[in-house]
Amino acid sequence: METAEVAADVLAYKKEVAKTRALLPEAPPSDCWDEIRAHKDETAILLASHEPLMSALAAYLLRAPALQVDMKKAALMRVDSERLTPEPHCILKWMLTPGVCLE
């Protein structure tokens, strides 16, 4: 939650930050996708969590279960989805590591 609060402050987000068990590090990626789908009226959603969920979620959203993603602390990744279908069909747009963000 601390990371989400910092991001909300930096991005000047004025609404309440949503809390969900779907972002607990041990949660299955499918729970997170269900949570995303529950917010279908949002144009963008920023998720803040920790490993092992974030790398598993990246592979799940990209429909590449064998994908190995090295999600460093404070890494950012953007994925887009045109439809919120029962199974994700997302496209990786970019990923930034903390080192790149600090340059």
Structure tokens at 45: 């959603």
What are the boundaries of each domain within the chain?
2-102
Does 57 or 99 have the greater pLDDT score?
Answer: 57
pLDDT tens figures, 25-84: 999 999 999 999 999 999 999 999 999 999 999 999 999 999 999 888 888 899 999 999
The pLDDT tens digits of the residues spanning 83-98 come to: 999 999 999 999 988 7
What is the DSSP annotation of the chain?
A: -HHHHHHHHHTT--SPPP--GGGSTTS-HHHHHHHHHHTTT-S-------TTHHHHHHHHHTT-TT------TT-EEEEE-S---SS---EEEEEE-HHHHH-
> Strands 91-96 and 76-80, how do they pair?
antiparallel
**What pLDDT, on a 0 to 100 scale, did the predictor assign at position 92?**
95
Position 100 pLDDT exceeds 90: no
Give the pair of three-digit tokens for residue 80.
Answer: 């887009």
Nearest to residue 8, comparing CAs of 55, 44, 41? Answer: 44
Structural tokens at position 11: 């991005």
Task: Note the pLDDT of residue 78.
Answer: 93
CATH fold for the domain made of 2-102: Rossmann fold (3.40.50)
Angle at 22 between CA 61 and CA 68, to 5 degrees: 35
